[in-house]
């Protein structure tokens, strides 16, 4: 063998073979195939194929419920766009809505009940640390826990937190908690706090909306009117009424005056931006009122005139429940005048940092260039104004008659309930601040995406020190769900029949129905069905009147149909159709299910709100008005004020469509919660530099943020966004995120806008 095959032969054959292969088509074929392979990587997703159809619906990610058109392939919505002329969305969707169909694929999505893995137990809130369990078992577990508390007579230690009050589901929550003896706690909506409204009149006030059509002056105390996108409140569509409000383009017809410390998008685009000293909204409102009263510019023909010009009880109580406050008498007015005497423009200028000339000008404009409305702000991340400031703002409206006419605050009729629920209405409503500290042993948190931030501190304060259980109904293991001992996921937005509640400030009632665009996962259960099954297990009356949620929605639509009022904005073409044109409740329902929106006629009979006289002042607590400045609890060594802020529906740590990262991570379009915004001079004095990390210290702790200098920021203030957390866009450990909410200490009124703070450079 070896004799015939020498090395030389081997080399020859090998060399020849290589040359032959090189000249053959083989290498070229391989080259080509390799390139083709790079064009068809197996891990590249395959595109869906099929006929494309269209459906109409509503987005339920935030309370606004904008109308949407869904392009469908293979039964799945792949593109969402706004409905033309939609009364809520105005024809477009916000970024959240545009990517709304992505939300159900979020890595933090729960596909079934999960137990454990809460942050407090050292978990990360992720599935790896939790045990999943069958739906039936989870329901039995929850019922068992409730039963334990019931047995020891501690039902009042149970509370349900409703993230989106005003829905039929909210009604079911109320009925359930009423028959259990538990608290029903609705999340805050915009506008005046319910506490403040309660303080305004001895009788319950009707539901208030704002009729902005034709408003010429909108005085906003920090309300994000032009921020973000138009929904969900009607006030946020102000620019649609008023035209564009940028520099050099301000329409003479309408003026937005924004009182805000932070250079928000609204402040930057407002016709007039008053950058007040932190917490001086109350002082400014009183200062404006001083000018209006002093110069006699108030509405002399309306309530203010009767109260201030008359002897205080000029108009006897006429049986109108709204006028019952009239008996308060002149002492209150003396107190109010006395109070205003402390706020002449010069004094106010000192407190607010706004010149006395500007204060006079604004007061005159507000009083004379009517119709004018003053609204209190609630930044989704910064929380509500303190109650006194809200009261002072309320008074401004009272002075100029905005509570007495159309084109201002108006009352609106409530949506009719389905007949079976109307007979036994839901129980009392508790506000979170009224729940005694340390009293709750079980808190059930509704699953809707909250549109405002809620500091965890506010909730833990209410929970019992030991053995308190949080149950989350969120479809995601993010936000509050990370603290939950048990999570029973509800269907994600666009996966179930849902109702769009009337916006808090809508002048008339509205009703819209969101039809599902996709199937929920097997393990998800709608909260109404969950409560139904728990009620059955505990032998309680059915909270939904033995009807499933879809049936209740249909019945509510039927109840609306029976009122024979209002009109429908048709989904598919945006046309206005009077309700009378529908010949059956079923036809009306079909229209609603196809993206239609019903809008009530204006309620002409209750156009005048009447005097809620106590609103001017509660003389029992004059001392609390001393400063007119809601200052943060002063602490030595903290020269700055930390004011958090946040975008709507994204102010916390909730799951968001991952593609939203384009606005936060992949560009600097929106403020990241990892940045601290500082005036350049403040940064220089603190020894920190633009673009570099710095410590932000408050009495509650310290976190590391990136400094972003902005010459428009108030020199005594630092701003940090409360959300969205980096993990909101996907599945990430939470530790990487310097949550500013943990640096805040909300006061007993549930206000956390201002916290004393200081900046320290990070030593290398």
Partner 1 sequence: MSRNTTHRVRYGMAIDIDRCTGCGACMVACAVENNVSVPPPPAGDRKGLTWIRVYRLHNERPYPESRTAYLPLLCQHCGHHTPCVSVCPQHATDIDPETGIVSQIPERCLGCRYCMAACPYHARYFTWWDPVWPAGMEEIFNPDVSPRMRGVVEKCNFCHGRRQVALQRAAAEGRRQIRDDEYRPACLEACPVGAIHFGNLDDPKQELYDLVHGERAFRLLERLGTEPKIYYLSSQPWVRRLLHNGIPASRRHPDGGRPDVAALRHQQVLARDPRAEERRRS
Partner 2 sequence: MKLASPDRPLIMRGVERTSLGRFLLWLVPWLALLAFGLYGAYLCLALGLNQTNLDNRFAFGLWIFLDLAVIALGAGAFFTGFLLYILRREELADLINSAVVVGFVCYSGAVVILMIDVGQPLRAWFTFWHPNVHSMLTEVTFCITCYLLVLFIEYIPIVLRNRRLRRIPAFLVFEFNLHKVMVVFAAVGTFLSFFHQGSLGGLYGVLQGRPFAFREGFAIWPTTFFLFILSAIAVGPAFLMLVTRLAEALTRKRLVHPRVYTLLGRISGWLLVSYVLLKSVDTLIWLNRTAPAVGFLGHDFYVHAAFGTWILFAEIVLFGLAPALMLLIPRVRQGRWAIVAALLACFGIALNRFVMTIQTLSLPSLPFDKLLLYWPSWQEMASFLAVIAYAVILFSLSYRYLPLYPRERELQADRDPDSVAPRAASRTTLAVGGAGAGTLPTSRR
Give the footprint of partner 2 on this chain (CB under 8 A). Answer: 31, 34-35, 37-38
Q: Which residues pair with 81 in a beta bridge?
A: 69
Q: Which of 38/634 has CB closer to partner 2?
A: 38
Q: Which is nearer to partner 2, 645 or 664 (CB)?
A: 664
Position 584 contacts partner 1 (CB under 8 A):
no
* Distance in Å, CB of 644 to partner 1, minimum: 20
Contact 389, 281 (CB under 8 A): yes
- Exposure class string for 452-466: b at 16+ Cβ within 10 A, else e: bbbbbebbbbbbbee
- Supply the minimum distance, in Å, between the C-beta of residue 519 and partner 1: 12
247 binds partner 1, rule: CB under 8 A: yes
Smallest CA-to-CA distance from 120 within 555, 734, 724, 762 is with 734
Taking CB under 8 A as the rule, does residue 361 contact partner 1?
A: no
44 binds partner 1 (CB under 8 A): yes
Task: Select the residue interacting with partner 1 from 118, 174, 269, 452 (CB under 8 A).
Answer: 269
Instruction: Record the tokens describing residue 521, joined without a space.
Output: 């996962």
- Interaction partner, residue 37 (partner 2, partner 1, none; CB < 5-8 Å by kind): partner 2
C-alpha closest to that of 558 among 590, 596, 529 = 590
Q: Which of partner 1, partner 2, none does residue 712 bind (CB under 5 to 8 Å by kind)?
A: partner 1
The DSSP secondary-structure symbol of 594 reads: T
Cα distance between residue 275 and residue 642, in whole Å: 16
Which CB sits closer to partner 2, 315 or 662?
A: 662
Query: Is there binding between residue 107 and partner 1 (CB under 8 A)?
Result: yes
Among 711, 748, 763, 764, binds partner 1 (CB under 8 A): 711
The partner in contact with residue 34, picked from partner 1, partner 2, none with C-beta cut-offs of 5 to 8 angstroms by kind, is partner 2
Beta bridge partner(s), residue 696: 703, 759
What does 22 bind: partner 1, partner 2, none (CB cut-off 5 to 8 Å by kind)?
none
Q: Is 366 in the site for partner 1 (CB under 8 A)?
A: no
Q: How far apart are CA 717 and CA 643, in angstroms?
A: 7
Q: What does 29 bind: partner 1, partner 2, none (CB cut-off 5 to 8 Å by kind)?
A: none
Q: What is the CA radius of gyration of the chain?
A: 30
E-only strand ranges, 555-700: 567-569, 576-578, 597-599, 640-645, 675-678, 693-698
Residue 444's DSSP bridge partners are: 160, 471
- Report the site for partner 1 in 653-672 (rule: CB under 8 A): 657-663, 665-670
Q: Measure CA 453 to chain center.
A: 7
Beta carbon of residue 15, minimum distance to partner 2 (angstroms, whole number)? 10
Asked if residue 640 binds partner 1 (CB under 8 A), the reply is: no
Q: Measured on CA atoms in the order 306, 308, 309, 314, is the torsion positive or negative?
A: positive
Tell me if 710 contacts partner 1 by CB under 8 A: yes
How many CB atoms are closer than 10 A to CB 576? 11
Q: For 226-355, where are the alpha helices, taking DSSP H only?
A: 238-242, 265-269, 281-294, 303-309, 330-341, 345-352
Which of partner 2, partner 1, none sits in contact with 5, Cβ below 5 to 8 A by type? none
Assess contact for 255 and 365: CB atoms under 8 A: yes
- SS3 annotation, 607-642: CCCCCCHHHHCCCCCHHHHCCCCCCCCCCCCCCEEE
By the rule CB under 8 A, 532 interacts with partner 1: no
Which DSSP letter does residue 302 get?
S
Supply 516's token pair.
Answer: 């599902």
Name the strand (E) or helix (H) holding 641.
strand 640-645
406 with 210: CB under 8 angstroms? no
Distances (CA, A) of 169 to 176, 421, 446, 593, 702: 10, 11, 10, 17, 40
Within 13 A of 468's CA, how many CA atoms are on the CB side?
Answer: 21
Angstrom distances, CA of residue 79 to CA of 53, 172, 232, 691:
11, 33, 21, 37
Question: Could you say which of partner 1, partner 2, none residue 541 binds, taking C-beta under 5 to 8 angstroms by partner kind?
Answer: none
In the bound complex, what is the minimum distance in angstroms from residue 355's beta carbon to partner 1?
10
Q: Among partner 1, partner 2, none, what does residue 583 contact (CB within 5–8 Å per kind)?
A: none
Minimum CB–partner distance for residue 46 and partner 2 (Å): 20
- Residue among 23 and 35 whose Cβ is closer to partner 2: 35
Closest CB 655 distance from partner 1, rounded Å: 11
Nearer CB in complex with partner 1: 237/348: 237
User: In the range 450-469, which residues lie near partner 1 by CB under 8 A?
Assistant: none
511, β-bridge pairs? 598
- Residues near partner 1 (CB under 8 A), total: 72
Nearest to 670 by CA among 270, 255, 381, 451: 381
Residue 469: its H or E element: strand 469-472
Interface with partner 1, residue 42, by CB under 8 A: no
- Residue 494 in contact with residue 517, Cβ under 8 Å? yes
43 binds, among partner 1, partner 2, none (CB under 5 to 8 A by kind): partner 1
* Residue with smaller CB distance to partner 1, 92 or 431: 92
Site string for partner 1, 285-314 (x = CB under 8 A): ------------------------------
Instruction: Please identify, using beta-carbon distances, which residue of 248 and 319 lies nearer to partner 1.
Output: 248
99 touching partner 1, by CB under 8 A: yes
Q: Least CB distance from residue 409 to partner 1, whole Å? A: 26
For residues 77 and 471, which CB has a smaller minimum distance to partner 1 in the complex?
A: 77
Is 673 a binding residue for partner 1 by CB under 8 A? The answer is no
Q: Residue 703: beta bridge partners? A: 696
Looking at 4, 153, 248, 316, which residue binds partner 1 (CB under 8 A)?
248
At closest approach, how far in Å is the CB of 595 from partner 1? 17
Token representation of residue 559:
């109840």
Residues 6+ apart with CB under 8 A from 220: 235, 256, 257, 258, 259, 260, 266, 270, 374, 375, 377
Instruction: Verify binding: residue 737, partner 1, rule CB under 8 A.
Output: no
Among 150, 202, 268, 542, binds partner 1 (CB under 8 A): 268
572 scored as a contact of partner 1 (CB under 8 A): no
State the DSSP string of 486-533.
Answer: EE-PPPPTTSS-EEEPPPTT-SS-EEEEE--SSPPPTT---HHHHHHH
Out of 145, 238, 273, 336, the residue judged to bind partner 1 by CB under 8 A: 273
**Which one, 551 or 732, has the nearer CB to partner 2?**
732
Measured from the CB atom, is 31 or 424 closer to partner 2? 31
CB 643 within 8 A of CB 261: yes
Alpha-carbon distance of 478 to 208, in angstroms, equals 33
CB of 106 or CB of 118, closer to partner 1: 106
| CB-based contact 752:383 (threshold 8 Å) | yes
Q: Is 716 in the site for partner 1 (CB under 8 A)?
A: no
Torsion of CA 696, 697, 700, 702, to 10 degrees: 60
Contact call for residue 17 and partner 1 (CB under 8 A): no
Enumerate residues 189-228 that contact partner 1 by CB under 8 A.
226, 228
Residue number, 174 or 262, with CB nearest to partner 1 = 262
Choose among partner 2, partner 1, none what residue 48 binds, the Cβ cut-off being 5 to 8 Å by kind: partner 1
Distance CA 720, CA 710 (A): 13
- CA-nearest of 189, 197, 385, 379 to 285 is 385
Quick note: the x/- pattern for partner 1 over 417-456, rule CB under 8 A, is ----------------------------------------
The stretch among 119-127, 244-252, 547-555, 608-616 that binds partner 1 (CB under 8 A) is: 244-252
Least separation in angstroms between residue 115's CB and partner 1 is: 23
């Amino acid at each position: 063998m070896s004799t015939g095959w020498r090395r030389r032969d081997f080399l020859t054959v090998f060399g020849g073979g290589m040359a032959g292969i090189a000249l053959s088509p083989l290498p070229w074929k391989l080259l080509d195939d390799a390139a083709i392979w790079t064009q068809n990587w197996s891990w590249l997703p395959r595109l869906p194929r099929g006929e494309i159809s269209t459906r109409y619906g509503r987005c339920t990610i935030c309370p606004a419920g904008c109308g949407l058109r869904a392009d469908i392939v293979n039964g799945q919505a792949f593109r969402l766009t706004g409905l033309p002329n939609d009364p809520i969305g105005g024809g477009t969707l916000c970024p959240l809505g545009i990517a709304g169909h992505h939300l159900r694929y979020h890595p933090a999505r729960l596909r079934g009940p999960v137990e454990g893995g809460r942050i407090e137990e050292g978990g990360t809130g992720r599935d790896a640390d939790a045990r999943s369990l069958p739906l039936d078992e989870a329901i039995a577990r929850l019922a068992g826990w409730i039963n334990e508390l019931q047995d020891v007579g501690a039902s009042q230690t149970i509370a349900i937190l409703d993230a989106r009050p005003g829905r039929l589901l909210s009604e079911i929550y109320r009925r359930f908690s009423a028959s259990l003896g538990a608290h029903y706690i609705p999340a805050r909506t915009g506008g005046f706090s319910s506490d403040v409204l309660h303080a305004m009149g001895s009788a319950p006030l009707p539901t208030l909306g704002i009729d902005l059509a034709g408003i010429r002056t909108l005085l906003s105390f920090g309300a994000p009117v032009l921020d973000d996108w138009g929904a969900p409140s009607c006030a946020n569509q102000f620019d649609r009424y008023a035209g564009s409000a940028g520099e050099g383009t301000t329409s003479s017809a309408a003026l937005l005056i924004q009182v805000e410390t932070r250079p928000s998008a609204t402040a930057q685009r407002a016709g007039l931006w008053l950058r007040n000293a932190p917490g001086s909204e109350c002082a400014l409102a009183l200062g404006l009122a001083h000018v209006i009263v002093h110069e006699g510019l108030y509405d002399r023909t309306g309530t203010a005139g009767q109260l201030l010009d008359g002897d205080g009880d000029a108009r006897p109580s006429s049986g109108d429940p709204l006028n019952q406050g009239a008996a308060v008498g002149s002492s209150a007015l003396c107190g109010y005048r006395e109070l205003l005497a402390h706020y002449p423009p010069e004094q106010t200028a000192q407190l607010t940092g706004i010149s006395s000339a500007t204060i006079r000008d604004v007061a005159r404009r507000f009083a004379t260039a009517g119709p004018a409305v003053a609204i209190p702000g609630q930044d989704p991340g910064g929380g509500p104004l303190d109650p006194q400031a809200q009261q002072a703002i309320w008074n401004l409206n009272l002075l100029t008659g905005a509570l007495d006419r159309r084109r201002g605050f108006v009352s609106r009729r409530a949506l009719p309930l389905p007949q079976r629920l109307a007979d036994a209405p839901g129980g009392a409503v508790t506000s979170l601040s009224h729940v005694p500290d340390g009293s709750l042993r079980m808190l059930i948190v509704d699953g809707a995406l909250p549109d405002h931030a809620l500091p965890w501190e506010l909730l833990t304060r209410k929970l019992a020190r030991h053995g308190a259980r949080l149950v989350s109904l969120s479809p995601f293991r993010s936000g509050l769900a990370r603290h939950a001992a048990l999570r029973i996921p509800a269907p994600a937005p666009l996966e179930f029949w849902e109702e769009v509640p009337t916006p808090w400030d809508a002048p008339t009632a509205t009703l819209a129905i969101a039809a599902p665009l996709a199937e929920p996962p097997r393990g998800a259960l709608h909260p109404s069905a969950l409560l139904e099954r728990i009620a059955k297990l505990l032998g309680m009356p059915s909270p939904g009147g033995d009807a499933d949620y879809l049936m209740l929605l249909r019945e509510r639509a039927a109840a609306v149909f029976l009122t024979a009022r209002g009109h429908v904005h048709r989904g598919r073409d945006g046309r206005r159709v009077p309700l009378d044109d529908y010949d059956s409740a079923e036809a009306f329902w079909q229209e609603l299910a196809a993206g239609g929106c019903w809008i009530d006629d204006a309620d002409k009979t209750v156009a005048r709100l009447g005097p809620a006289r106590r609103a001017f002042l509660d003389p029992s607590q004059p001392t609390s008005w001393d400063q007119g400045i809601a200052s943060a609890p002063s602490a030595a060594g903290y020269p700055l004020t930390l004011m958090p802020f946040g975008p709507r529906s994204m102010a916390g740590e909730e799951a968001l469509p991952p593609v939203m990262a384009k606005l936060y991570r992949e560009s600097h379009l929106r403020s990241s919660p990892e940045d601290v915004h500082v005036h350049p001079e403040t940064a220089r004095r603190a020894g920190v530099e633009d673009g570099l990390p710095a410590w932000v210290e408050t009495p509650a702790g310290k976190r590391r943020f990136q400094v972003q200098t902005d010459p428009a920021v108030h020199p005594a203030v630092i701003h940090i966004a409360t959300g969205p957390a980096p993990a909101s866009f996907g599945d990430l450990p939470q530790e990487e995120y310097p949550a500013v909410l943990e640096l805040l200490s909300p006061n007993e009124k549930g206000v956390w806008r201002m916290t004393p703070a200081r900046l320290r450079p990070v030593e290398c």
